[in-house]
Amino acid sequence: MKIKKKFNRLNNESRLYKLNVPVIGLTGGIASGKSTVTAILKEKDLPVIDADQLVKGIYALPETLDFIKNNFPDVIKDGGIQFPLLRQKVFSNSDVKSKIEEFIYQRLPMAFKLAFENLHQPSMVIYDVPLLFEKNLEHLFDLNVLVYTPLTIQRQRLMARDNHTDEIANNILNQQMDIESKKSKAEFIIDNTRTQAELTEEVNNFLRQIMEN
């Protein structure tokens, strides 16, 4: 599948990591269903790179374990990182968040390039980026799409999924850009407020709009 010419908007120098193919930015809020949309796209054999998976790969590196041990030893147990403790520390301390993000983001370009090489010269790529708007990255993508779920549903799903209290869920949501603000910035919207079948049709409709027949 190829993206329509009118959505091939950027040149190599302007595009994310100077790629020579169009890049679609896929984003959403926490518990909005973005991972489900990514899974649907992969089932259709579309080339998708997931930023969260890249970050997980970086966390698996020995150098990352050493970094966490040296800076946040209280989240280490039995030689491994206790991610619930680490997440709690990140969401409650902006200095901790900044320090960890700096370490991770320094390694993200190389992780992305390796993932892109494994796609074996695709005609385009979809990059699943949770913080696309928060980090002001939208100008690096040929187009962007938001997986949209209202804040009330986000909160409900987050509490059910991760067994969070209302207070913790609100704290996490308050540290992200409001979903309505993201909606106002997005070029395309994939609505995820209803059933799985309707979400799949939303994805199909998006693809019909941007891909050549």
The pLDDT tens digits of the residues spanning 9-64 come to 999 999 999 999 999 999 998 888 899 999 999 999 999 999 999 999 999 999 99
> What is the structure's pLDDT at 183?
95
Indicate whether 71 pLDDT > 80. yes
Indicate whether 74 pLDDT > 90. yes
> What is the structure's pLDDT at 167?
79
Distance, in Å, from the CA atom of 142 to the CA atom of 150, rounded to the nearest integer, reads: 26
Query: Is this structure's pTM higher than 0.85?
Result: yes
**pLDDT tens digit sequence for 96-122:** 999 999 999 999 999 999 999 999 999
Scan for tokens 């994310």, then name that residue: 16
Indicate whether 213 pLDDT > 80. no
Distance, in Å, from the CA atom of 136 to the CA atom of 194, rounded to the nearest integer, reads: 29
> What is the structure's pLDDT at 157?
79
Is 182:27 a contact under the CB 8 Å cutoff?
A: yes
* Average pLDDT for the chain: 93
Q: What band does 166 get if pLDDT is binned at 50, 70 and 90?
A: confident
Domains of the chain, first to last: 1-47+126-213 (3.40.50.300), 57-118 (no CATH)
Counting residues of the chain whose pLDDT is more than 70, the rounded percentage is: 100
